[in-house]
Amino acid sequence: MNDALRKPAPPTRTLEDSPLYAIVNPKSIVMFGASNKYTAMGTSVLSSLQGLGFEGPIYPVHPREETVLGLPVYRSVEELPETPDLAIIVLPTPIVIETLEACGKRGIRHAIVVSAGFGEAGGDGLALQEQLKETAARHGIRFLGPNCIGGVNPHHKFNATFLPCGQTPSFIGMASQSGSFITQMFAYLERFGLGFSTGFSVGNEANIDIVDCMEYLAACPNTKVIGLYIESIRRGRDFIDAARSIVPHKPIVAYYVGGSEGGRRAGLSHTGALAGPDRIYDGVFRQSGVVRAGSIEELFDYCWALGTCPPPRGNRVLIQTHSGGPGAVAADACDRAGLKLLPLSEATRERLAPYVPHTASINNPIDLTFSKRAMDYMDVLPKVVLEDENSDAVLMYLMMPKRSVLRAMDAMGITGETAEKEADSYIDHQGRKMAKVMLAAEKPFIGFSFYTGENRFIKGLYDAGAPVFPSPTRAARALGALVRYARLREKLAGNEI
Amino acid sequence: MNDALRKPAPPTRTLEDSPLYAIVNPKSIVMFGASNKYTAMGTSVLSSLQGLGFEGPIYPVHPREETVLGLPVYRSVEELPETPDLAIIVLPTPIVIETLEACGKRGIRHAIVVSAGFGEAGGDGLALQEQLKETAARHGIRFLGPNCIGGVNPHHKFNATFLPCGQTPSFIGMASQSGSFITQMFAYLERFGLGFSTGFSVGNEANIDIVDCMEYLAACPNTKVIGLYIESIRRGRDFIDAARSIVPHKPIVAYYVGGSEGGRRAGLSHTGALAGPDRIYDGVFRQSGVVRAGSIEELFDYCWALGTCPPPRGNRVLIQTHSGGPGAVAADACDRAGLKLLPLSEATRERLAPYVPHTASINNPIDLTFSKRAMDYMDVLPKVVLEDENSDAVLMYLMMPKRSVLRAMDAMGITGETAEKEADSYIDHQGRKMAKVMLAAEKPFIGFSFYTGENRFIKGLYDAGAPVFPSPTRAARALGALVRYARLREKLAGNEI
């Protein structure tokens, strides 16, 4: 086995050591800014916490309300029956600091400051942010924000963002300098059966920054891959050191937006961060072993592939299709993503011959065309294809329109409601079987389709955890990211010796 | 008004002159290869024709069956009660030529040859294809294929592909050297409320080729934009001439897959076409005024923008968002797509000031942040923004989670089922209003969101015909394509003088 593919031991720092542990795994929470005004952001946050079924006590503090969303209200943090693990502050800017001060006095050591109007606003905001930091430091408080939308840890039934998160716990650990790339991704990821293990919106990073998040996510057992949305890195050296220690055992994907003039200026007014030129960040990522993505879709596509596939041993890919166009597009996209398509080995060609009709191609892509033996495509072929010695990964075109299955049923004399039921159960069975082959493979085995979750077969593959990208181009680029990760990891391993 | 933006007269060649007219607008069809074997491709084609409700007579020819899918069967083409406009042939390779010969004798002048095993198979297939061409030429038959999956014209309730096409008639005219990029796109496009005006799968192009399709689509009144999937151009000079005469009055977008080694080899075994290097095709497209796309998604994204937006007068874009991250991503993607973000004009800044909270930014992107006056975002702001003198186009972040609307209802004392109904009707109303502003704009006004059709608000925008791309990156690139088209058109107009 290639030395570089052996997993080095994970870092010894434990999850509980992280300042973020109590922030996304609190036993109890004090909530500032929730009221019975349903349009207030604080109310939304409380409602999200309740919506995901947070199991510990939540103590709303409010000067006038008696109850908030059914919970008894306290007039001040002093009155609480216990010292909560976490304070969530969604208050007007002028009273944030005195509130954090009161929390500190009460012994609270962790906070999420959602309120804006600090560093990102410039002017007086800069001084206010300094005061906020000083207050926290005096009491030993670690906090996320200000100007953030909190965090989410579905494994702990914890959602402190202002949007509901219905998803089941998943494996993507995310730290984002934009809250939208946490909350706006709930529905987006769910569409592919994906979600977050833990997601952090870091806001202005006045106390806890993206490097702290990376270290937490590196130690988090639910996180298989770390995604970063970056407008600017504040601790460059620490970022590189952290990434280099994480990458050998867990992949990191980053989307950096500040590299263009437009992105830089937008970032500046968003979180007040000063971005650097593209090529400097390119160098930082390369040196750190971080896989760079070119868009939000790519960021999550790469996370999907890296969280579900083993690292490939090389860049040789085999494409299986029954449709020439999608095969050609996949081949073209592979080429552009730095992947190679070699001819099939003689052994593979011989093993495939009995299954391939005369109109088909035993080249690479293997194109089965419109076959009368459609079952071979999902059954025998993938097994043969996986054993081809000339390839390090497989890309496979996947579709199973229900109409085709119903037609086959009809040919067997099965019609009406029975056919509908049988077709569904057949499709579900095929999806589970296919997913099993894909997930058990020792090489990356990635599917692609133009269908997504609205199609029962593809939904079944998602539900079983198989990576099926919504286009050949996206699948090829995700496989390219797998190869890049394997190489970066190898390089880092080499440097460490 | 810029001279280049005046529409030149469309070409004088009429739709009915095209050899393709009868192929996708037949009054009657003879169908070879449909049977009561439900898994046969011919049966699928017939079933698709019936499924879309084709209104003319269809005559199945079969040696043994009495009826096929409920239709009376004829033993031969000689026995038909009339000479049909179109023959669709889905038969085994060896009997295709004799069938076309019989059709010719019967006076049929148009055909779709779905059967494969001709030029693309090499060897004997090459000779067979020559025979097929010769047979057609002798009888003056014009045909699509062989090795194609037919065509679709929802405006004529005509679907001669093997997959059902449920979509309403739309505006994208497509000619594809892969049948999958017709059939596999039915569901894909429907997801965005889009579809084909007419779609052609050209197969081996033995008789009718992609240039003929372009000429047909140029004259087709239902087609607002022409999309091409190209593995190789066989008539280079004619392609350039046709495109140059079309582009001044109708945009053309092409995705060329043969430019990479992988794409070239895959295309070769797919339709037997010999592809050329990337940069040669780049030159051909530039010279022709064709906008080049880099993937299937881009191909249809560009068609979407070009079919719904007026041409921009320049490359200056204004971004409106209420979320910093998506705004920054859009700005970054605009920059990379060759678009410029200028500061807002003084007049625009003054007009916006009353609507913008203190945490927000009146830069470009305009970031309203989490506003308590959410209605301004969709109501007053777009109107002000559209009148900004420093921009030629608007990109706007769009989302309206139902939960937020329900919260506002709750705040007004409306709950339960009434709230659900009111929320839906409010969302529908907002969608219609927003779409109206977008579609009436004299500049391109493009939306972006991470939500798609599963979200009621976004679905409403799709249904009203507004372009709302599923990510900031895709929206920015589509806007880039609009600018490229406007420039190419201007250049062609200049050349014509």
Partner-chain residue, chosen from A266, A408, A452, that has the shortest CB–CB distance to B328: A266
**What does the pLDDT look like over A260-302, one tens digit per residue?**
666 666 665 555 555 578 888 888 999 999 999 999 999 999 9
Give residue A259's pLDDT band: very low, low, confident or very high (50, 70, 90).
Answer: low
- Per CB-CB distance under 8 Å, the chain B contacts of A229 are 325
Partner-chain residue, chosen from B39, B267, B328, that has the shortest CB–CB distance to A263: B328
Long-range CB pairs of B409-416 (<8 Å, 24+ gap) are B410/A38, B411/A37, B411/A38, B411/A39
Across the interface, whether the CB atoms of B359 and A269 are under 8 A apart is answered no
**What does the pLDDT look like over B167-195, one tens digit per residue?**
678 999 999 999 999 999 999 999 999 99
Contact A398, A472 (CB under 8 A): no
Give residue B279's pLDDT band: very low, low, confident or very high (50, 70, 90).
Answer: confident
State the average pLDDT over residues A476-484.
98
Across the interface, whether the CB atoms of B332 and A450 are under 8 A apart is answered no
**What does the pLDDT look like over A49-60, one tens digit per residue?**
999 999 999 999
Across the interface, whether the CB atoms of A332 and B266 are under 8 A apart is answered yes
Give residue A1's pLDDT band: very low, low, confident or very high (50, 70, 90).
Answer: very low
How close is the nearest chain A Cα to the Cα of B494, in Å? 31
In the prediction, which pLDDT does B260 show? 65
Q: Please determine, for residue B17, whether its predicted confidence score (pLDDT) is greater than 50.
A: yes
Across the interface, whether the CB atoms of A331 and B266 are under 8 A apart is answered yes
**Higher per-residue pLDDT: A454 or A404:** A454
In the prediction, which pLDDT does B374 show? 65
**What does the pLDDT look like over B42-99, one tens digit per residue?**
999 999 999 999 999 999 999 999 999 999 999 999 999 999 999 999 999 999 999 9
Backbone angles phi, psi at A214, to 5 degrees: -60, -45
Q: Which residue of B has its CA nearest to A368?
A: B270
- Per CB-CB distance under 8 Å, the chain B contacts of A201 are none
Across the interface, whether the CB atoms of A367 and B473 are under 8 A apart is answered no
Distance (Å, rounded) from C-alpha B249 to C-alpha B138?
36
Q: Which residue of B has its CA nearest to A475?
A: B295
Q: Please determine, for residue B6, whether its predicted confidence score (pLDDT) is greater than 70.
A: no
How close is the nearest chain B Cα to the Cα of A69, in Å? 12
How close is the nearest chain B Cα to the Cα of A51, in Å? 12
In the prediction, which pLDDT does A497 show? 37
Across the interface, whether the CB atoms of B257 and A329 are under 8 A apart is answered yes
Partner-chain residue, chosen from B181, B324, B372, that has the shortest CB–CB distance to A178: B324
In the prediction, which pLDDT does B369 show? 73
- Which range, of A315-324, A345-354, A358-367, averages the lowest pLDDT? A358-367
**What does the pLDDT look like over B347-375, one tens digit per residue?**
998 998 888 776 666 789 988 876 656 67
Partner-chain residue, chosen from B117, B184, B332, that has the shortest CB–CB distance to A263: B332
How close is the nearest chain A Cα to the Cα of B295, in Å? 6
In the prediction, which pLDDT does B261 show? 65
In the prediction, which pLDDT does B470 show? 96
**Higher per-residue pLDDT: B35 or A367:** B35
Give residue B401's pLDDT band: very low, low, confident or very high (50, 70, 90).
Answer: confident
- Per CB-CB distance under 8 Å, the chain A contacts of B121 are 358-359
The pair of three-digit structure tokens given for residue A77, joined into one six-digit string: 């943090």
How close is the nearest chain A Cα to the Cα of B332, in Å? 4
Q: Which residue of A has its CA nearest to B184?
A: A450
Q: Please determine, for residue A190, whether its predicted confidence score (pLDDT) is greater than 70.
A: yes
In the prediction, which pLDDT does A91 show? 97
- Across chain A, mean pLDDT equals 90
Partner-chain residue, chosen from A180, A328, A411, that has the shortest CB–CB distance to B325: A180
**What does the pLDDT look like over B124-147, one tens digit per residue?**
999 999 999 999 999 999 999 999
- Per CB-CB distance under 8 Å, the chain A contacts of B369 are 116
SS (H, E, C) chain A: CCHHHCCCCCCCCCHHHCCCHHHHCCCCEEEECCCCCCCCHHHHHHHHHHHCCCCCCEEEECCCCCEECCEECECCHHHCCCCCCEEEECCCHHHHHHHHHHHHHCCCCEEEECCCCCHHHCCHHHHHHHHHHHHHHHHCCEEECCCCCCEEEHHHCEECCCCCCCCCCCCEEEEECCCHHHHCHHHHHHCCCCCEEEEEECCCCCCCCHHHHHHHHHHCCCCCEEEEEECCCCCHHHHHHHHHHHCCCCCEEEEECCCCHHHHHHHHHHHCCCCCCHHHHHHHHHHHCCEEECCHHHHHHHHHHHHHCCCCCCCEEEEEECCHHHHHHHHHHHHHCCCECCCCCHHHHHHHHHHCCCCCEECCCEECCCCCCHHHHHCHHHHHHHCCCCCCEEEEECCCCHHHHHHHHHHCCCCHHHHHHHHHHHHHHHHHHHHHHHHHCCCCEEEECCCCCCCHHHHHHHHCCCCEECCHHHHHHHHHHHHHHHHHHHHHHHHHC
In the prediction, which pLDDT does A144 show? 98
Give me the domains of chain A, ranges plus CATH numbers: 15-144 (3.40.50.720), 151-308 (3.40.50.261), 317-485 (3.40.50.261)
Q: Which residue of A has its CA nearest to B329?
A: A257
- DSSP characters for B209-252? -HHHHHHHHHH-TT-SEEEEEES--S-HHHHHHHHHHHTTTS-E
Q: Please determine, for residue B278, whether its predicted confidence score (pLDDT) is greater than 90.
A: no
Q: Which residue of B has its CA nearest to A271?
A: B324
In the prediction, which pLDDT does B11 show? 52
Across the interface, whether the CB atoms of B471 and A296 are under 8 A apart is answered yes
Across the interface, whether the CB atoms of B361 and A295 are under 8 A apart is answered no
Q: Which of B178, B191, B329 to mutate to test the interface with A (most CBs of A within 10 A)?
A: B329
Backbone angles phi, psi at B468, to 5 degrees: -130, 105
Q: Which of A269, A300, A363 to mutate to test the interface with B (most CBs of B within 10 A)?
A: A269
Across the interface, whether the CB atoms of A335 and B260 are under 8 A apart is answered yes
Ramachandran area for residue B145 (φ above 0: left; ψ -120 to 50: alpha; else beta): left
Across the interface, whether the CB atoms of A266 and B365 are under 8 A apart is answered yes
The pair of three-digit structure tokens given for residue B471, joined into one six-digit string: 């990510």
Complex ipTM: 0.91
- Per CB-CB distance under 8 Å, the chain B contacts of A162 are 370
Question: How much of chain B exceeds pLDDT 90, in percent?
Answer: 73
**What does the pLDDT look like over B310-352, one tens digit per residue?**
999 999 999 999 888 999 999 999 999 999 999 998 999 899 8
Across the interface, whether the CB atoms of B178 and A328 are under 8 A apart is answered yes
In the prediction, which pLDDT does B100 show? 98
How close is the nearest chain A Cα to the Cα of B411, in Å? 5
Across the interface, whether the CB atoms of A325 and B270 are under 8 A apart is answered yes
Partner-chain residue, chosen from B261, B328, B401, that has the shortest CB–CB distance to A257: B328
For A17, residues 6+ apart whose C-beta sits below 8 A from its C-beta are A219
- Per CB-CB distance under 8 Å, the chain A contacts of B164 are 403
Q: Which residue of B has its CA nearest to A455?
A: B187
In the prediction, which pLDDT does B267 show? 60
Across the interface, whether the CB atoms of A295 and B410 are under 8 A apart is answered no
How close is the nearest chain A Cα to the Cα of B355, in Å? 17
Q: Please determine, for residue B254, whether its predicted confidence score (pLDDT) is greater than 60.
A: yes
